[in-house]
């Protein structure tokens, strides 16, 4: 191993690490606000990448119909809720509008635009608009009624949601994978390093998103409300912060981050319907490095996972996964020695 | 009144049973849904063209879906052997399901012809025969081609699963036989997002040729990574990669790649001297007449070959007993082992007592990607 090989490996590791960082941030965000360990985070990645791939081929992706079905189910839940609590019809109607408006409009646009072969960038925006509402809807249908259940129950629901989404992914996108065209085809060479435009986009967007998340949590009222819910749900509720609203917002953000990661990773690798799981799992490992609590530590952990993976596959490619997932053990040991605590429910 | 009804029912049962005795029941369990459906559905389409009658006996196809799930495959097999009393089972099209079905079929002493390469060791596969090519015969064709190209050193990159393992073993054996050397061995998982580190190591070893062991669209990523590292040698892909997906994902990066494949899918391009040319052309013409041009597929070819097997073994087995009897079933199995050299659309088959894989080395065809299409390599 010489310096140039180490450089190439480091670049490769950091590029993947940047994606894991985004997913780790989403995982930390969701756990902090809703106590949900969201295993299907990676499915948003696959949904994002494959929805764009199908739009590229001029087909209407299955996610469009899935979005409509989920929105329809949420609307039924709204009506049932309204009837049960004897809300005024106008209030129910307004709630229905809020539930249905975005999914229906976005789906209609997607169905209309799919055969028209929009430019790549417009299709990418459309993909984000299609996948992001899934966060809100999945939270409402799968988690909201259980919001006060134990972490374990929420984790079990996550496993169920994960399998459901993987199965639907196979149904929507088929067993074969897709590779998306690059957003920026430029190549730069610095010595032995070949940096592609896509790498620069990955780094740029990851950094920008992390800065935006920081500003959001530090400077805006909504961000502070989310943080308050994260610190103490009951206390935040007493202060007039809706914990359901916080959960929906957190899930929407997580779905957006997942879809964005999918768009970023799509041009660098072949994405299959079930690719999301391992990608999401590595983000989860990084989030565990951070004790599911700290954003900067999650970032460091994710870059660490990326580097470990890259150097690991260079030295012993058959044991790469073993190396990455074994690395979690000393970290867990260190964490449990540092701050021992009992079960909290 | 009640007596009349009972009599009618009894007569109907007798008539039905009488008819059923003369029929040959063929149980089929394929993955029509789930991840294996890409293989099962083409096999099913070809079975729609299966002969209605063989040696004067009516053929009943009993088609079940195993949903790519080994558990479902087992319950399908149980149903086929206990309720439908089938004489032979075709299935499944994916290895894990076929492997799960094998003990059930063997216990019922029913012949199982698998559409997937199942690695049951010799001796335990008494009732099990395979239609697809084993890795050895494909590796043989690939290394023959390498020898002609003057390849001396080889790099290997493959899946960290059973498919990669089988090929690594076959490639090591063939390399040793031909005096070549495998200088670098790297592995990757289907779900990996990057194989750059492995590609770095392979291209720094700079072998004359590299073998990439992966399937379908997954086969393009490692090749792209290797090409991106500036590797200029020859690239070889295995028969699992001989699908249009390789070209769809790989684009211009896979141009010039050599791919080993069964002969059926390139029927028209086979040299006239190839033994399978006639069968392969017949398969492709009929299949594409029914399913549209360009619909041919490796696994549909296996279904076609299944019909050839049946036509050969049924007349032999009929001499031993009536369809539906244990004698008939075991005679069918024995006929498989003694049917001798048989030309399939996928090569030349010769099952023997010790070899239930059966393909001779006349099966593998080397293709090359040229202008986004597979052409037979010279």
* Among B35, B194, B217, beta carbon nearest to A16: B194
What's the whole-number average pLDDT of chain B? 88
Please answer yes or no on whether B201 and A19 come within 8 Å at the CB atom: no
Distance from the first to the final alpha carbon of chain B: 78
Q: Which two tokens mark A207?
A: 């950094």
pTM equals 0.82
Can you give the pLDDT at residue B19? 45
Neighbours of A205 (CB within 10 A): 18
The count of structural domains within chain A is 1
Can you give the pLDDT at residue A303? 94
Q: Flag whether residue B107 sits within 8 Å of chain A, measured between CB atoms.
A: no
In a domain, A85, yes or no: yes
Question: Regarding beta strands B128-130 and B111-114, do their DSSP bridges make them parallel or antiparallel, or are they unpaired?
Answer: parallel
Task: Just give the CATH number of B135-261.
Answer: 3.40.50.2300
Question: What confidence tens digit (pLDDT) does each residue in A241-296 have?
Answer: 888 899 999 999 999 999 999 999 999 888 998 889 999 999 999 998 888 888 88
- Whether residue A23 contacts residue A279, with contact meaning beta carbons closer than 8 Å, is answered with yes
Distance of alpha carbon A8 from alpha carbon A303, whole angstroms: 15
In a domain, A333, yes or no: no
Residue by residue, pLDDT tens for chain A (345 residues) are 778 888 889 999 999 999 999 999 999 999 989 989 999 999 999 999 999 999 999 999 999 999 999 999 999 999 999 999 988 899 999 999 999 999 999 999 999 999 998 999 999 999 999 999 999 999 999 999 898 889 999 999 999 999 999 989 988 998 788 989 888 888 888 777 778 889 999 999 999 998 998 899 889 999 999 989 888 888 888 988 888 899 999 999 999 999 999 999 999 888 998 889 999 999 999 998 888 888 888 999 999 999 999 999 999 888 888 998 888 888 888 888 877 665 454
Can you give the pLDDT at residue B20? 45
Give the class (CATH, top level) of B2-133+288-349. Answer: alpha beta
Question: What confidence tens digit (pLDDT) does each residue in A83-99 have?
Answer: 999 888 999 999 999 99
Distance from CA of A11 to the nearest CA of B (A): 10
In a domain, A230, yes or no: yes
pLDDT at B197 over 60: yes
- Whether residue A282 contacts residue A321, with contact meaning beta carbons closer than 8 Å, is answered with no
Hey, which residues 2-21 in chain A have their CB within 8 Å of chain B?
Answer: 5, 8-9, 12, 15-16, 19
Can you give the pLDDT at residue B145? 94
In a domain, A5, yes or no: no
Say which DSSP state A274 is in: T
Q: Flag whether residue B161 sits within 8 Å of chain A, measured between CB atoms.
A: no
Residues near A212 by beta carbon (within 8 Å), at least 6 away in sequence = none
Residues in A touching B188 (Cβ below 8 Å) = 313, 317, 320
Picking from A95-109, B1-15, B31-45, which range would have the lowest pLDDT averaged per residue? B1-15
Please answer yes or no on whether B191 and A177 come within 8 Å at the CB atom: no
- Whether residue A45 contacts residue A275, with contact meaning beta carbons closer than 8 Å, is answered with yes
Residues near B269 by beta carbon (within 8 Å), at least 6 away in sequence = B375, B376
Distance of alpha carbon B98 from alpha carbon B86, whole angstroms: 17
pLDDT at B363 over 90: no
The 3-class SS string of chain B reads: CHHHHHHHHHHHHHHHHHHHHHCEEEEEEECCCCCCHHHHHHHHHHHCCCCCEECCEEEEEEEEECCCCHHHHHHHHHHHHHCCCCCEEEECCCHHHHHHHHHHHHHCCCEEEECCCCCCCCCCCCCEEECCCCHHHHHHHHHHHHHHHCCCEEEEEEECCHHHHHHHHHHHHHHHHHCCEEEEEEEECCCCCCCHHHHHHHHHHCCCEEEEECCHHHHHHHHHHHHHCCCCCEEEECHHHCCHHHHHHHHHHHCCCEEEECHHHHHHHCCCCCCCHHHHHHHHHHHHHHHCCCCCCHHHHHHHHHHHHHHHHHHHHHCCCCCCCHHHHHHHHHHHHHCCCEEECCEEECCCCCCCCCECCCCCEEEEEECCEEEECC
Q: Flag whether residue B198 sits within 8 Å of chain A, measured between CB atoms.
A: yes
Can you give the pLDDT at residue A342? 53
Task: Determine the distance from the C-alpha atom of residue B329 to the mean position of all C-alpha atoms in its chain, rounded to a whole number.
Answer: 23
Distance of alpha carbon B366 from alpha carbon B378, whole angstroms: 8
Can you give the pLDDT at residue A30? 93
Question: What confidence tens digit (pLDDT) does each residue in B328-359 have?
Answer: 999 999 999 998 899 999 999 999 988 898 89
Q: Flag whether residue A277 sits within 8 Å of chain B, measured between CB atoms.
A: yes
Q: Flag whether residue B221 sits within 8 Å of chain A, measured between CB atoms.
A: yes
Residues in B touching A320 (Cβ below 8 Å) = 188-189, 192
What is the domain range of residue A259? 40-283
How far apart, in Å, are the Cα atoms of A3 and each of A6, A193, A328? 5, 11, 28
CB pairs < 8 Å spanning A and B: 92
Percent of chain B clearing pLDDT 90 (strictly above): 55
Q: Flag whether residue A175 sits within 8 Å of chain B, measured between CB atoms.
A: yes
Hey, is A269 helix, strand or coil? coil
Q: Flag whether residue A189 sits within 8 Å of chain B, measured between CB atoms.
A: no
Provide mean pLDDT across the span B283-304.
90
In a domain, A229, yes or no: yes
In a domain, A328, yes or no: no
Distance of alpha carbon A198 from alpha carbon B376, whole angstroms: 36
Q: Flag whether residue A106 sits within 8 Å of chain B, measured between CB atoms.
A: no
| Per-residue confidence band for B18, with pLDDT thresholds at 50, 70 and 90 | very low
Provide mean pLDDT across the span B205-222.
90
In a domain, A263, yes or no: yes
Can you give the pLDDT at residue A190? 76
């Amino acid at each position: 191993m010489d310096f140039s090989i180490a450089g190439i490996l480091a670049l490769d590791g950091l590029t993947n690490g940047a994606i894991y960082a985004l997913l780790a941030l989403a995982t930390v965000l969701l756990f902090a606000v809703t106590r949900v360990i969201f295993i299907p985070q990676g499915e948003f990645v696959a949904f994002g990448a494959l929805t764009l791939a199908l739009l590229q081929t001029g087909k209407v992706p299955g996610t469009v119909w899935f979005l409509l079905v989920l929105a329809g189910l949420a609307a039924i839940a709204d009506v049932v809720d309204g009837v049960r609590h004897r809300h005024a019809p106008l209030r129910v109607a307004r709630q229905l509008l809020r539930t249905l408006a975005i999914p229906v409009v976005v789906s209609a646009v997607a169905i209309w635009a799919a055969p028209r072969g929009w430019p790549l960038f417009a299709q990418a925006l459309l993909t984000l608009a299609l996948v992001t509402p899934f966060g809100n809807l999945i939270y409402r249908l799968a988690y909201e009624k259980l919001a006060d259940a134990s972490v374990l129950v929420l984790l079990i629901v996550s496993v169920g949601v994960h399998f459901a989404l993987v199965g639907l992914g196979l149904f929507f996108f088929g067993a074969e994978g897709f590779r998306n065209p690059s957003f920026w085809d430029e190549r730069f060479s610095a010595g032995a390093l070949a940096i592609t435009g896509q790498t620069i986009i990955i780094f740029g967007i990851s950094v920008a998103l992390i800065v935006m998340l920081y500003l959001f949590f530090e400077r805006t009222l909504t961000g502070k409300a989310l943080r308050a819910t994260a610190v103490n749900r009951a206390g935040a509720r007493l202060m007039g912060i809706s914990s359901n609203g916080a959960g929906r917002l957190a899930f929407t953000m997580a779905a957006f981050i997942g879809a964005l990661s999918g768009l970023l990773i799509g041009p660098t690798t072949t994405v299959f319907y079930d690719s999301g799981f391992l990608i999401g799992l590595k983000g989860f490992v990084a989030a565990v490095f951070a004790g599911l609590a700290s954003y900067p530590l999650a970032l460091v952990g994710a870059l660490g996972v990326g580097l470990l993976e890259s150097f690991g596959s260079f030295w012993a490619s058959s044991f790469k996964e073993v190396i990455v997932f074994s690395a979690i053990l000393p970290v867990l040991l260190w964490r449990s020695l540092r701050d021992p605590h009992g079960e909290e429910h | 009144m009640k007596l009349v009804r009972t009599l009618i029912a009894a007569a109907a049962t007798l008539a039905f049973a009488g008819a059923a005795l003369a029929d040959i029941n063929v149980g089929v369990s394929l993955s029509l849904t789930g991840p294996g459906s890409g293989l099962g559905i083409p096999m099913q389409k070809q079975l729609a063209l299966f002969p209605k009658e063989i040696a004067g006996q009516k053929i009943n196809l009993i088609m079940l879906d195993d949903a790519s799930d080994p558990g479902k495959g087992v319950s399908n097999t149980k149903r086929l052997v206990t309720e439908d009393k089938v004489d032979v089972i075709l299935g499944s099209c994916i290895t894990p399901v076929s492997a799960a079905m094998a003990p059930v079929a063997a216990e019922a002493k029913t012949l199982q012809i698998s559409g997937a390469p199942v690695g049951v060791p010799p001796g335990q596969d008494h009732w099990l025969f395979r239609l697809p090519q084993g890795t050895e015969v494909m590796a043989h064709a690939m290394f023959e081609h390498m020898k002609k190209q003057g390849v001396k050193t080889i790099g290997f990159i493959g899946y960290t699963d059973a498919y990669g393992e089988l090929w690594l073993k076959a490639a090591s054996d063939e390399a040793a036989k031909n005096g070549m050397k495998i200088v670098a061995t790297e592995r990757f998982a289907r779900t990996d997002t990057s194989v750059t580190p492995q590609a770095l190591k392979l291209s720094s070893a700079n072998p004359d040729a590299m073998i990439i062991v992966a399937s379908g669209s997954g086969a393009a990523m490692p090749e792209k990574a290797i090409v991106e590292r500036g590797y200029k040698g020859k690239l070889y892909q295995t028969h699992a990669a001989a699908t249009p997906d390789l070209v769809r994902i790989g684009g211009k990066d896979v141009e010039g790649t050599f791919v080993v494949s069964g002969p059926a899918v390139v029927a028209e391009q086979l040299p006239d001297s190839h033994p399978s040319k006639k069968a392969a052309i017949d398969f492709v013409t009929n299949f594409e007449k029914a399913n549209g041009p360009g619909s041919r597929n490796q696994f549909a070819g296996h279904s076609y070959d299944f019909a050839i097997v049946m036509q050969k073994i049924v007349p032999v087995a009929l001499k031993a007993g009536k369809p539906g009897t244990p004698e008939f079933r075991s005679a069918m199995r024995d006929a498989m082992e003694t049917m001798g050299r048989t030309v399939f659309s996928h090569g030349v088959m010769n099952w023997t007592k010790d070899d239930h894989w059966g393909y001779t080395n006349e099966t593998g065809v080397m293709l090359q990607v040229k202008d986004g299409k597979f052409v037979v390599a010279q």
